Amino acid sequence: MFINKNYHKTTILLIILLLAFNSMGVYGESMFTDINKNHWAYDYVEKVVNLGLMDGYDDATFRPNEEVNIADALVYVTRLFNLPKEEVEKMRQEHDELLGKFQLSEERKDGLAIALSKGLVTEIFVENNLFTQGKIRTATKMDLTNYIAKTMGIEEEEGEVYVFLFKDADSIPKRSRPYVSFLIDKGILEAKGDGEGKFNPGQPIIRSVLAKMLSLSYDKMDINPVTPGVSIEDPVEPMGKEPVLGDEITGIITSKVDKYIFIDNGQKVDSYTFEKDTSITIDGNDAAIKELEPGMNIKAIVSEDNILKSLMVDSGKDIVSGTINKISLEASPSMVVDLDGGNMRTFHIPKDIKVWVNGKESYLFSLREGDKVKIEAFDDLALSISGESKNGKVIGIIKGRNFDEENMIIVERGNKTTYEYQLKEELLVYRNSSGVAIKKLRPGDQVILSISNGEVESVEANSTPGEDEGYIQEILISKEPKLSILNDRGELVVYYISPEALIKIDREVKSIYDLRLDYFAKLKLESDEIVNIQIER
């Protein structure tokens, strides 16, 4: 099996293939060629791949029905810990003698080392039960139940009796029953079992089922995932404090029921009620409870019993930009940002915040220390975060370029936002599968940028074919010749003329010098460049 540390690789490869056939839009709705949005597990698969918990294959497939072996299952499950590289290296050293006995990939050795260190498996298990008949054993539903429950930090209670509704409850090993009960309580396992009312502990786990279990587990994690750059010994300190008598809170209204409202202050969602004389204003104007709506940004004064003394709705928002200094994904997520102006600021992050990374809707988990961010904020509460990865891939369309002065490229991403990317001096550029000079890149080209330390180190580009027609309005003969036409949509459009452009007038091959104003020209395009001109007088 192919395991890929860069969880976007399969998506990138797929898009390269699609670009080559100029049919990117045909498959744009699906991340993989063998699973689409109608598949029951599509949302789970998309989420775990974006989070980096699972990977696809080099042939752009996910293989949702393929069985998972024990080693790969542990690779995927232990990614929930999101451990720093240095800690994994220490675990490898600790278990190097044992793992050296087996022919395993480095990725599988990493997963087993973490699993051994975290108590998911034992050395005896690895020595005696990892392989069967010379092959790594297939993972079962019981295996995954045990591993995920331990990863989520189950606390077993001595002497507890577990009662299940499964028809085959007796087949669940006694030692594993606490784990089954734990995952049922968390909503990861179905209390009623499968369609036949069975648990099926020995059933092989397939990749789509594993994706669902990992996705649900991530949402219910009781442990605190460690993000690179934020150590357990040096966490981001939570800001603010619990409301006390006369304390001020800042937050977002999440819902309203009768005279109760629920407010997310970035640390927790809590309910509040009103007094008869509670002062309520919306953007400075007096208002009533019925005018309050979910999504409103508020400042309030509350008593120790969560009674609102006053509540002010403020539609004002700040837009700040900077670099992530630290990020904490604990129960109350927060982010420390070095602002572009030189100051440092900490933001609380509410549960349902919208996050974009490189122009694509993503997850808070995907942001890293050193990434650039633009934050829409209300005081110290982040309302939305748009991040630009320090390292990674960006997919988009070239909208502008400045190679001579600033060595920059402007790219429009999937959500229609644009961003200026700094290009490295030693840049690898490919266009239509051929190595080219940077100046061969054209606005309109579809590109995949590889970014390292905040700069573009390579560009994979494909021209976008197109057509247009209209009356010639202007001809500019220069080092980069241009042609302006007034098309049938009433638009005055300027195109560059390729040095290799084929020009025919009345079916005879001509040159740019034979073109005249008011000729009606039919153009074939590659991005913003004319490659063929046909004129019939």
Q: Does residue 59 lie within any of the structural domains?
A: yes
Same domain, 458 and 358: no
Q: Does residue 323 lie within any of the structural domains?
A: yes
Last residue of a domain, one of 462, 481, 501: 462
Same domain, 204 and 336: no
Same domain, 77 and 138: yes
| Number of domains, the chain | 4
In whole angstroms, what separates CA 276 from the centre of its chain? 46
DSSP, collapsed to helix, strand or coil, labels residue 197 as coil
Give the containing element (helix H, strand E) for 339.
strand 334-339
| pLDDT value for 159 | 59
Same domain, 283 and 355: yes
Q: Does residue 376 lie within any of the structural domains?
A: yes
DSSP, collapsed to helix, strand or coil, labels residue 262 as strand
Q: Does residue 224 lie within any of the structural domains?
A: no
| C-alpha dihedral (422, 428, 432, 438), degrees to nearest 10 | 60
Last residue of a domain, one of 323, 352, 387: 387
| pLDDT value for 158 | 55
**Higher local confidence (pLDDT), 213 or 56:** 213
Same domain, 17 and 51: yes
Q: What is the mean pLDDT of the chain?
A: 84
Mean pLDDT of 297-307: 87
Same domain, 142 and 115: yes
Q: What are the pLDDT digits (tens) for 69-121?
A: 999 999 999 999 988 888 999 999 999 999 998 889 999 999 999 999 999 99
DSSP, collapsed to helix, strand or coil, labels residue 253 as strand
Same domain, 118 and 173: yes
Same domain, 142 and 84: yes
Cα 153 to Cα 145, 217, 268, 463, 522: the distances in Å are: 13, 11, 21, 51, 67
Confidence tier at 200 by pLDDT (50, 70, 90):
very high
DSSP, collapsed to helix, strand or coil, labels residue 71 as helix
Would the pLDDT of 11 be above 60? Answer: no
Mean pLDDT of 516-526: 94
Identify the CATH number of the domain in which residue 410 sits: 2.40.50.320
Same domain, 495 and 450: no
Q: Does residue 2 lie within any of the structural domains?
A: no
Q: Does residue 227 lie within any of the structural domains?
A: no
**Higher local confidence (pLDDT), 12 or 114:** 114
CA distance 125 to 131: 10
Same domain, 369 and 451: no
Q: What are the pLDDT digits (tens) for 463-500?
A: 999 999 999 999 999 988 999 999 988 899 999 999 99
Would the pLDDT of 10 be above 70? Answer: no
Same domain, 21 and 152: yes
Q: What are the pLDDT digits (tens) for 330-341?
A: 667 889 999 988
Last residue of a domain, one of 462, 495, 516: 462
| pLDDT value for 237 | 41
Domain that holds residue 315: 233-387
Same domain, 258 and 205: no
Q: Does residue 225 lie within any of the structural domains?
A: no
Q: What are the pLDDT digits (tens) for 129-175?
A: 888 888 899 999 999 999 999 998 887 665 577 888 899 989 998 88
